[in-house]
Amino acid sequence: MLLENKKALITGSSRGIGLGITKRYLEEGCEVWGLCTKDSPAKAETEAFAKEHGVAYHEIHANVAEVENLKLVIKDALKEAGGFDILVNNAGITRDGLSFRMKLEDWNSVLSINLTSAFIISQIISGDMIRKRAGSIINMASIVGLHGQGGQVNYAASKGGLIAYTKSLAKETGARGVRVNAIAPGFIETEMTAAVNEEAQKAWLETIPAKRAGKVEDVANTCVFLGSDLSTYITAQVIGVDGGMGA
Ligand code: NAP
């Protein structure tokens, strides 16, 4: 198993891509602390799935936009786990709209949940990883953070910022054994993309060389690779999981 005896903290573990990553990590022998806002409908099933694979799943709760509480929750999890080998900053939201009409509140909430939370959580977890001279941090960016997208200035800015943050943090921590990479998914089938209207979904599909939407497993498998010892010389990278869309 690729992640045997490792411990991971994964944000946004209740559904979509985060749930997919959580399940692949459990399958690979990793003990997972999954963070979401409240008791998730998937909690009992994920705990049972973990048990089947001989590991444990711990669901923890915080709104990542509430910084002081977030810090306490992450510190508690770190203490309980005794250190994490892998951190996946995956929690994210969209609040789409054209820039000239966008409310400051929608700009701020997207930046805070998609970008600032990764900084807050990584600051706590990477301190411990640096002391141990080992760790892998994976930030869930987006193809939109590389290329931009009309109607998503807040989301694109948050993901572009996350990419720059990833590369910069990797340069700070590389010599201390901590790798930091980003994944840039294209169009992946989850609740987030189900909210996109059918016409826009069709238009996106046209632009994908693979001619299909991505599955959460496509992203989860890349996360397994980046969390595992198969990727020990890979840091400061942005890996597209987009069926060729961003090429
Ligand atoms: P999703 O199905 O909407 O799931 C979002 C996850 O984030 C949920 O677990 C949710 O927890 C958590 N979350 C949201 N706001 C939170 C908050 N304030 N505090 C704590 N947790 C919060 O989204 P997804 O499609 O799986 O996307 C996951 C990540 O991939 C996001 O960062 C997204 O930007 C990125 N991404 C997705 C796509 C795509 O095509 N789907 C493409 C590119 C990038 P609750 O259930 O508790 O709300």
Domain ranges of the chain: 7-235
What predicted TM-score, i.e. pTM, was given to this entire model?
Answer: 0.98
**Mean pLDDT over each residue of the chain, to the nearest integer:** 97
Q: Is 138 helix (H, G, I), strand (E, B) or coil?
A: strand
Distance in Å, CA 200 to ligand 1 centroid: 20
What is the total residue count of the chain? 247
Token pair belonging to 23: 């399940």
Name residue, tokens 């980003």: 182
pLDDT, one tens digit per residue, over 187-225 is 999 988 888 888 988 888 999 999 999 999 999 999 999
By the 8 A CB rule, do 35 and 52 touch? no
> What dotted CATH number matches 7-235?
3.40.50.720
Strand partners, 214: 188
Ligand 1 neighbourhood includes 212 CB (under 6 angstroms): no
| pLDDT surpasses 90 at 121 | yes
So which residues are the catalytic ones? Answer: 155
Q: Quick one: pLDDT at residue 192? A: 86
Distance in Å, CA 238 to ligand 1 centroid: 19
Distance in Å, CA 224 to ligand 1 centroid: 18
